[in-house]
């Protein structure tokens, strides 16, 4: 199960942000009203903002003159197939649910922050008050009762759609084809490729421009992918060092004998 977010029909109402905060009882953020980023006063995903509607203002050429275009997109945790946050967690606080989502168990989290630095999307963050990591749970408590995540339920344009990922992908591909036919050449899917650096996401998007425009990494990678190789190199280095120490002691024990007779002291004449 997962999300398909169609940014082409997002109107920037932030109903998803409000619904997410209300259902999950997330603390309020200090309003950043003068960020210089138009109406985007929440700025980014955080420990207390699990849905974030980005406002991207673009100046484009239209009919030979400059014009403004708004790109709006509701961002969320991607619930990666290869989830680096889950792989590095030392306490088992992060786990994958029966719905395929990745959630944090706050009663098990020790606040080490490994997941924060491991996330390729910069989604997870620690709260200052309790020092624990927090992020989207895909409204797990609603799913176990057969419900829909609060953000998707509240979206008035169905920009946020929830359901089985294979069904959502078919719907998304049909939508992209329709946009291409209508002349929206840059329409594309993001996070749907099972062969990308995180083997696909549980939350993917239809974008109208390059991922970087929306603040998304163009080629996200599982940040733990090199760990096995690093551990192998470390093991080899440790063995070489140990062999050197053993050899050093062996050579020391085989040095030539010395004359241990007591010296004869006398006065110089």
CATH of domain 2-80+138-214: 3.30.70.20
- Residue 176: its pLDDT value, please? 97
Specify the pLDDT at position 123.
93
Structural domain spans, the chain: 2-80+138-214, 223-252
Split the chain (269 residues) into runs of 10 and give each run's mean pLDDT. Answer: 96 94 88 62 88 87 75 94 92 94 94 93 91 95 96 96 96 96 94 84 94 90 62 56 73 58 52
Q: What is the pLDDT of residue 106?
A: 92
**Amino acid 24: pLDDT:** 95
pLDDT given for residue 222 in this prediction: 81
Cβ-based neighbours of 104, under 8 Å, separated by 6 or more: 93, 94, 115, 124, 132, 133, 134, 135, 137
Q: What pLDDT shows up at residue 225? A: 59
User: For residue 202, what is the enclosing H or E element?
Assistant: none
Number of Cα atoms under 13 Å in the Cβ half of residue 233: 5
Distance between CA 59 and CA 52 in Å, rounded? 23
Encode pLDDT of 85-109 as tens digits. 999 999 999 999 999 999 999 999 9
207: phi then psi, degrees, rounded to nearest 5? -110, 155
Q: By three-state DSSP, how is residue 95 classified?
A: strand
pLDDT at 60: 76
């Amino acid at each position: 199960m997962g999300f398909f977010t169609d940014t082409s029909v997002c109107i920037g109402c932030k109903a998803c942000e409000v619904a997410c905060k209300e259902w999950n009882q997330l603390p309020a953020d200090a309003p950043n009203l003068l960020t210089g980023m138009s109406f985007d006063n929440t700025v980014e995903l955080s420990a207390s903002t699990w849905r974030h509607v980005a406002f991207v203002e673009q100046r484009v050429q239209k009919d030979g003159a400059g014009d403004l275009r708004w790109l709006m997109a509701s961002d969320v945790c991607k619930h990666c197939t290869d989830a680096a946050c889950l792989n590095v967690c030392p306490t088992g606080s992060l786990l994958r649910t029966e719905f395929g989502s990745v959630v944090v168990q706050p009663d098990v989290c020790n606040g080490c922050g490994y997941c924060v630095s491991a996330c390729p999307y910069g989604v997870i963050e620690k709260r200052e008050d309790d020092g624990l990591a927090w992020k989207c749970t895909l409204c797990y408590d609603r799913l176990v009762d057969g419900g829909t995540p609060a953000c998707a339920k509240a979206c008035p344009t169905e920009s946020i759609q929830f359901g089985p990922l294979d069904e959502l992908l078919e719907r998304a591909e049909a939508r992209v084809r329709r946009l291409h036919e209508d002349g929206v050449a840059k329409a594309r899917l993001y996070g749907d490729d099972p062969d990308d650096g995180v083997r696909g996401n549980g939350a993917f998007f239809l974008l109208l421009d390059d991922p970087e425009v929306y603040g998304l990494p163009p080629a996200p990678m599982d940040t733990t992918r090199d760990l096995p190789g690093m551990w192998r190199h470390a093991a080899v280095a440790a063995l070489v060092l140990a062999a050197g120490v053993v050899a050093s002691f062996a050579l020391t024990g085989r040095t030539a004998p010395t004359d241990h007779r007591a010296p004869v002291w006398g006065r110089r004449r």
